[in-house]
Amino acid sequence: MYNTIDKLFKNHDISDKELTDLITSAEYDDYLFEKADIVRKKHYGNSVYVRGLIEISNYCKNNCYYCGIRAENSLVERYRLLPDEILKCCETGYSLGFRTFVLQGGEDIYYNDDVVCSIISDIKASFSGCAVTLSLGEKSYLSYSRFFEAGADRYLLRHETADNDHYRLLHPQSMDPDNRKKCLFDLKKIGFQTGAGFMVGSPFQKTGNIISDIRFLKTLNPEMIGIGPFISHKNTPFGNYENGSVQLTLRIIALVRLMFPDALIPATTALGTMLDDGRERGIKAGANVVMPNLSPQDCRKKYEIYQNKLYSGEESAQALLKLRKKISSIGYTVSMERGDHKPENSLT
């Protein structure tokens, strides 16, 4: 198996059978993580890029079976940030040195194209040198184009599972897996730095589904790839399902780093929710992005897409200081730069 990892390290790809063998065995994780770390350092050094996450709304029109803010969850205390409140979050983040803001939310119909474009334009005008990332779900090609023209730089849209049959087990019939994939290709075509990704250990997931996810990513070739463990939420149809494995998630992160050497890969909040040092472990396995929360204090617990989401209750400045210390303690350095994608061919 060491030879297989060496082959992946050199060629950035292996056969489905070889991938299956690596995914299903924990015996070689240390060597896998070591190789992933070498590849990440080749492209991004010891830098861990910090993005300021602003969860703008927990209203959502969709009913994904795994999500705590699904439309049919009547127990959610809903909130929505108005444009001025979003800009205030950016102002706080900018004063702390953040140069990327990630606007994430459910598919909230309040945020029509005009509202979103106005927010993007105001952020770009008010905070020089900043990147704007959106994570607002499925939109039309025209909507994505308008966001890009308004100044948005990146768009995150995790595909969650590339297998259509598996997708339909996780989502209502009103949601179309082919449309979600189409959105990702639209984003790439328009020129966004595009992020896709999937849950590890989601209900009904098999190793073959993970292989399909990786092959879909190979076809899409996104600039950003988000991999996180499934964590159940009690007020969803999957409330009693077992959570995904942290160790398997770390293994997939390492495999993805070796297969996509230049990708921006976050150490997700979900990892930090499942283990105190989960995000640090994600970094050591090949991740190079973290996203501290800049949302207003009274909103952070309300954006609960899964159970017991990591929440420190600290002000942004204090949380950033602790994050710096944690990342430094494992031999890496927080970078407040925009942290744009660096294509593989830019190193040659």
Length in residues, the chain = 348
Predicted pLDDT at 348: 47
Look at phi and psi of residue 317 and say left if phi exceeds 0, alpha if psi is from -120 to 50, else beta: alpha
Which residues fall within 8 angstroms of residue 257, CB to CB, at 6 or more apart?
36, 39, 40, 263, 265, 285, 286, 287
Binned at pLDDT 50, 70 and 90, residue 316 comes out as confident
Which residues fall within 8 angstroms of residue 339, CB to CB, at 6 or more apart?
47, 49, 50, 51, 99, 100, 131, 264, 289
Which residues fall within 8 angstroms of residue 81, CB to CB, at 6 or more apart?
54, 56, 57, 89, 295, 296, 299
Nearest to 196 by CA among 182, 184, 186: 184
Written as one letter, the residue type at 163 is D
Q: What is the pLDDT of residues 192-244, one digit of tens each?
A: 999 999 999 999 999 999 999 999 999 999 999 999 999 999 999 999 999 99
Q: What is the pLDDT of residues 25-37, one digit of tens each?
A: 999 999 999 999 9
Burial of 9 (0-12, 13-18, 19+ CB in 10 A): middle
Query: pTM surpassing 0.85?
Result: yes
Binned at pLDDT 50, 70 and 90, residue 319 comes out as confident
Look at 72-76, 242-246, 296-300, 306-310 and tell me which has the smallest mean pLDDT: 306-310
* Mean pLDDT across the chain: 95
Please tell me what DSSP assigns to residue 201: S
